[in-house]
A and B are shown apart, each in its own frame.
Chain A
């Protein structure tokens, strides 16, 4: 029975269905994510880790030590001589010039048991206009009037005083009425009295808020001036690093999303058969990318915030200031979350484009597109690898644009070389036994899937190999018999944490003796001898941060944009000027009697041409030089000034540290013990880097690279094997052994892992050769264990994992993906 019905005219209309269509497609993408998020767990995990690390990094950057501990909310500090009769006039002049100022009076430094730097009695208004954030009351109350004082915890503990205790340190009896701290600088040890109640003022710090132009233009008394540098760059640096990290996560995500698109091919074909346009199909995968990115980013931000809130306060001691655990740069964090989401969407774009362009019939049959000739990608990859390598070589390890460009070009090259790697695997199959032969040929046949996975594995291995090789270079340098800062059997103990590059405090004799005793203990523990290192200072130089800058030779540079003055000096180009004390000369095998009477400088280097002697006033000095033999290490003396030279420059000696010389290379444990002892005495230790930290880092990266590679394999191998299920059934029907399925899966995983490991490691070696092209000999010490783990361990684990997990494949293997 049939019926004829009049045909209505068909109106097709226009457009792509507008918002309802987009919403329907996005809804399906969300549902698919909920169903299949485990298949994208590796991409999700990488995003979570990246955003969590960024969140913690931003929080640390926001809470990084700043100069607020010295400046409060001001931006300029003028230090005036507290004994200057013109002090009151100078303060008046500053008030006239700048309006509101905050005055902090410092007494002379008093010795503090266990510390080289002592402490000062400070008269400061706790509610001062700029200095208020530098004071916090932790117990009791603020001192008022002449008979009251408050102490920091460290001073109170060292002096055995508490609230209510009797103070009699600065010649004036006082009662301790409170415990205070500088929350912006917990290392700041001081005693606080009410404004104007310091017994003997040695120095007056005046905090001023003014622009650089105002400060330059307005009259002010002479005195040491400090200008606060900008604080805002740390978050930007973290964000830049996070972006670079996300680029790599994005590259891995491209491979992950490609595999996902292949898994969903039939569903996408069905959608196309229903009338979805190519835009709708593209939107499905872009929406999936947005969902994965959004979920990963939000989860990462949440994990990072929780980690920071829980662990942030533990950083107060190492960072040296109080931490507000909720002082996280939320807007910047939001930017990081958006960046991660955008990264995932961008990563999904290419697979989405490829899927949208695939014919509906081909998609419905889940037949992957015929692989494009691998040599086209390989040629482009080769060009990019060459360009990236050249950029890394030209970067000279310092030029950021070349470094970023080189790293990105190399990473993209690695992705493009992967299909060629798969093709080679297919060609090598000819000589392999049956199961590996089939597995390798299947990899080559399903290149659109295996190529993306291989690229992701190679990238993960490549990153791990780069870190490993870099660490190996550091370790090799540390093990080298010459060069570097110090020989492996010596330590330098410095009075100032900045060694010779910053002001060195003048130690009272009592304190100097205490530190010397501690250094002797450190030397005895290492069966070493200790030799004093003496610097030279201008006694008339104003105090700066409770000390004076010792004379050094420094290379002048032109100031950068926005930097004040005509010339700049960088601490990396400084040569310490040490006094040629007889004990030091003898230690270096120089007979003090061999020094000529008119010699000003003993040079262990060829010359000091091109260097300025700073701090100033000595530009025209033409020293009489005498060449001697001194060890060629960066932190050891290479220029010594004689008593004759000191007298000509009107400099006086000042103890700056000790050289601890052991009979054998110091172990990591000995160095760590020395560092702990030195920290307790308020001094710092410099040693030759052992590379132990870098080696540990290399181990972590190797493990992480292997884990990511195995995750990618888990995503991919099942898919490839399910594609070839029919072949397997045929194989078994023709008499193959029951273990064939396991062998096939294992061989697929092993071959993919091996190819990825070889390509990743090779690219890493090429990059590192370019990076260290001037000192390639350091790469002659390969990190054997790490490389064996990557090149042998990863394929073996992948093979064994494939073998074990293939046992569960029996029921699912006959089913096609997504059914």
Chain B
């Protein structure tokens, strides 16, 4: 079966005056539906660049990126924006929600940007929040939510609608252990529903929850492992519904 995300010999080079920085070198990666891939590596190794290229935020210098079988290189800027709002969900480490919009509005925003009427988008947003146990936080603004709640709302926004790919850049980096685990449970639950996920992390314990771990150093994939499956007990309670 083809992957939701396919990176074929992807390279990325930044030019700074006379200097060239190779952020990625010939990276191949495929993520199938329902699978989570963790990307690990030291600072500056190219993890975040991989994520931005996979998320159609940047174009590779060489190679090909396919999302749901469609090559990004053939897409216009508008098509890539449509792809992001329809198929890709992002979760960042520390800045995820738009100020001035409530949790429900933040979750519904990608749907509204895609042309869904406000009432329907809101209903979908509320459903997504309810599934993540945040129904009572729907009308709160980001600055009225805790850090963990903000990340859970961000995940709700990243999975709402007909999303295929969830990209998370250090999603638990700013959270305590309990909240970090809660966020991971939600991401795994999303994968169980069929999303493909790529998570950048420094935390080996969190990476062990993934189906596969990819190690990057100096822009190149240096190792791939398949860790032992995470304990089923983690997928219990509300998050595993």
Contacts and interface: CB of A to CB of B under 8 A. Distances in A.
Interface stretch (B112-120, B128-136, B179-187, B198-206): B112-120
Nearest to A279: B78
Interface string A244-280: 0000000000000000000000110011111111101
A310 interface: no
Interface in B1-58: 1-2, 4, 32-36, 52, 55, 57-58
B152 interface: no
Given A20-B121, A819-B95, A28 B101 contact: yes
Contact of A274 (B2, B32, B85, B121): B85
Interface string B120-147: 0100000000000000000000000000
A1 interface: yes
Nearest to A11: B86
Interface in A10-43: 10, 12-18, 20-21, 23-25, 27-28, 31-32, 34-35
Contacts of B238: none
B3 to A, nearest CB: 8
A10 B68 contact: yes
A359 B79 CA distance: 15
A13 B100 contact: no
B229 interface: yes
Contact of B86 (A27, A273, A275, A278): A275
Contacts of B117: 20
B4 A20 contact: no
Interface string B179-220: 000000000000110100000000000000001000000000
A4 B34 contact: yes
Q: How large is the interface on A (under 10, 10 to 19, 20 to 34, 35 or more residues)?
A: 35 or more
B90 A20 contact: no
A818 interface: yes
Contact of A275 (B69, B82, B235): B82
Given A7-B33, A276-B85, A17 B113 contact: yes
Contacts of B230: 1
B118 A270 contact: no
B68, B92, B114: which has the most chain A beta carbons within 10 Å? B114
A683 B147 CA distance: 79
B153 interface: no
B109 A34 contact: no
Given A5-B34, A12-B79, A273-B90, A21 B95 contact: no
Contacts of B92: 270, 273, 364
B237 interface: no
B198 to A, nearest CB: 14
Given A17-B112, A23-B112, A270-B96, A5 B229 contact: no
B155 interface: no
B99 A20 contact: no
B115 A18 contact: yes
Given A24-B112, A275-B114, A280-B113, A6 B83 contact: no
Contacts of A819: 94-95
B166 interface: no
Contact of B81 (A9, A20, A275): A275
A277 B78 contact: yes
Among A5, A18, A31, max chain B CB count under 10 A is at A5
A361 interface: yes
B161 to A, nearest CB: 10
A28 B82 contact: no
Contacts of B78: 16, 277
Contacts of A13: 82, 86, 114-115
A21 B83 contact: no
Nearest to B114: A17
Contacts of B171: none
A7 B118 contact: no
Contacts of A10: 67-70, 83, 86-87, 164
Contact of B82 (A12, A20, A32, A273): A12
Contacts of B191: 2
Contacts of A20: 112, 115-118, 121
Which of B117, B230, B235 counts the most A-chain CB atoms under 10 A from its CB? B117
Contact of A32 (B69, B70, B99, B194): B99
A626 B68 CA distance: 104
Contacts of A9: 68-69
Interface residues of B, number: 59
B223 interface: no
A273 B87 CA distance: 12
A27 B33 CA distance: 35
B77 interface: yes
Interface string A337-374: 00000000000000000000001110010000000000
B57 A4 contact: no
Contacts of A818: 99
A538 B79 CA distance: 87
A267 B101 CA distance: 12
Given A2-B191, A4-B33, A24-B118, A274 B113 contact: yes
Contact of A2 (B34, B90, B96, B108): B34
Contacts of B2: 7
A295 B87 CA distance: 38
B110 interface: yes
Contacts of A277: 77-78, 81-82
Contact of B57 (A17, A31, A266, A361): A361
A664 B85 CA distance: 82
Nearest to B55: A273
A274 B164 contact: no
A4 B211 contact: no
A142 B163 CA distance: 85
Given A2-B211, A10-B68, A24-B109, A270 B57 contact: no
B115 A28 contact: no
A3 interface: yes
A10 B162 CA distance: 9
A5 B194 contact: yes
Contacts of A35: 99-100
Contacts of A34: 100
B84 A275 contact: yes
Given A3-B192, A6-B1, A361 B99 contact: no
A31 B110 contact: no
Nearest to B142: A819
Interface centre among A23, A24, A278, A364, by most chain B C-beta atoms within 10 angstroms, is: A24
B98 interface: yes
Contact of A276 (B81, B86, B90, B101): B81
A12 B83 contact: yes
A28 B108 CA distance: 12
B51 to A, nearest CB: 10
A372 B83 CA distance: 31
B99 to A, nearest CB: 6
A35 B98 CA distance: 12
Contacts of B32: 4
A20 B88 CA distance: 20
B4 to A, nearest CB: 7
B232 interface: yes
A274 B84 contact: yes
Contacts of B1: 4, 6-7
Given A10-B67, A360-B57, A275 B100 contact: no
A359 B58 contact: yes
17 contacts: A2-B34, A2-B36, A5-B34, A10-B69, A12-B70, A12-B82, A14-B82, A15-B115, A16-B78, A20-B117, A21-B113, A21-B114, A271-B109, A275-B85, A275-B86, A275-B110, A276-B85
By Cβ-Cβ distance, the 9 closest A-B pairs, closest first, are: A275-B85, A31-B100, A10-B68, A24-B112, A275-B84, A5-B194, A277-B81, A17-B115, A5-B33
Given A272-B81, A275-B81, 18 more contacts: A10-B68, A12-B70, A12-B79, A13-B82, A13-B115, A14-B82, A17-B85, A17-B114, A27-B101, A31-B101, A32-B99, A34-B100, A35-B100, A273-B57, A273-B90, A274-B85, A275-B82, A364-B95
